[in-house]
Amino acid sequence: MSTLPVVAAVDGSDDSLRALDWAADAARRRAAPLRVAHVRHHSAWAPHGAPVPVPPPPEGDPVLADARVRLAGSGASGVPEAEYAGLDGAPGALLPALGAEAGLLVLGSRGRGGFASLLLGSNGLTAARDAECPVVIVPRPDRTVDITLPVEPGPRVVVGLKTDSPDDAALDFAFGEAALRDARLHVLAAYPWPIQSWLAPGDLPLTVYDQDAIEHETRTLIAGFLAPHRERHPGVRVDAVPTPGDAAGLLVAASVDATLVVVGRHRRRLLAPTRMLGSVTHAVLMHAASPIAVVPPAPAED
CATH topology of domain 156-291: Rossmann fold (3.40.50)
Give the dihedral sign, CA 251/159/156/130.
negative
Q: Residue 93: pLDDT band by 50, 70, 90 thresholds? A: confident
Tell me the pTM: 0.83
Check for a shared fold between 6-138 and 156-291.
yes
As a whole number of angstroms, the distance between CA 279 and CA 136 comes to 17
Domain ranges for the chain, please list them: 6-138, 156-291
Provide CATH code, domain 6-138: 3.40.50.620
Distance, CA of 9 to CA of 64 (rounded, Å): 10
Q: How many other C-beta atoms are found inside a 10 Å radius of the C-beta of residue 126?
A: 19
Percentage of residues of the chain with pLDDT beyond 70: 75
**Which has the closest alpha carbon to 214: 189, 197, 238?**
189
pLDDT tens profile 53-76: 445 555 678 999 999 999 988 755
Amino acid, res. 244? P
d(CA 220, CA 217) in angstroms, rounded, equals 5
DSSP code at position 95 = H
Q: Is there a contact between 159 and 225 (Cβ–Cβ < 8 Å)?
A: no
Looking at residue 89, its pLDDT comes to 85
142 with 41: CB under 8 angstroms?
A: no
pLDDT digits (tens, 9 = 90+) for 183-220: 999 999 887 656 555 555 655 554 556 767 777 888 88
